Amino acid sequence: MTGKKSVVVLDYGSGNIRSAERAIARADVDVTVTVDREAALAADGLVVPGVGAFAACMDGLTSVGGQSIIAQRVAQGKPVLAICVGHQVLFSAGVEHGVRADGCGIWPGVVEEIQAERLPHMGWNTVQPAAGSRLFAGIENQRFYFVHSYGVRELAPEPQRKITWAEHGGDRFVAAVEDGVVWSTQFHPEKSGDAGAALIKNWVAIL
């Protein structure tokens, strides 16, 4: 036993697993990349990465029982951090190229194409953190790395739900959510340099 917190990166067939693993390991935790259900449920923290299309990520997540793993962790009060399309699939549904796919339904909201002339939204951008955000504590004015064409453009605030917004091409979308034990980012903290490393440490601090 190392005495460190344990984090599982859920390996459900989505790419970008290793860069997430390395970034989280730098926060001084024990990281395991696995699809094992018991390990994912037992870990102090679970990371749900994701790249590519909403429907494909949702299919991969469903194939390994990821949806029920996330739901069980939420019910047990165990932290989850979702990234990029991992963040998107927590919402009710996604619509890409006219095709609608159901999401995990943790939050109401539809992932749809951002209304901007230049897509994908790729590169560094600032965000507008929610008041009292713990995820962005100390990094409120930093820039983060985005790669996406789709996002959630409407999400109602709730007393415990903190919503961080960003803009691209004049259109506003959800950049991050903090809701109880479930935190998520549309951007890639593992590709966001020192600011991303600080954000991951802020998440690890709640484990």
pLDDT at 125: 98
| Domain residue ranges of the chain, discontinuous segments joined by + | 6-204
- Tell me how far apart the alpha carbons of residues 181 and 179 are, in angstroms, rounded to a whole number: 6
Read off the pTM. Answer: 0.96
- Going by their DSSP bridges, the two strands 161-168 and 171-179 should be labelled as antiparallel
The topology under which CATH files domain 6-204 is Rossmann fold (3.40.50)
- Tell me how far apart the alpha carbons of residues 78 and 122 are, in angstroms, rounded to a whole number: 32
DSSP 52: S
**188 is an active site residue:** yes
- Going by their DSSP bridges, the two strands 182-185 and 171-179 should be labelled as antiparallel
- Tell me how far apart the alpha carbons of residues 165 and 128 are, in angstroms, rounded to a whole number: 5
What are the pLDDT tens digits along the chain (207 aa)? Answer: 568 999 999 999 876 789 999 999 999 999 999 999 999 999 999 999 998 899 999 999 999 999 999 999 999 999 999 999 999 999 999 999 889 999 999 999 999 999 999 999 999 999 999 999 999 999 999 999 999 999 999 998 888 999 999 999 999 999 999 999 999 999 999 999 999 999 999 999 999
Active site residue: 21, 57, 84, 121, which one? 84
Question: Closest Cα partner for 40 from 16, 14, 61, 18?
Answer: 61
pLDDT at 1: 54
Active site residue: 87, 121, 168, 188, which one? 188
pLDDT at 91: 98
pLDDT at 159: 86
**104 is an active site residue:** no
pLDDT at 58: 96
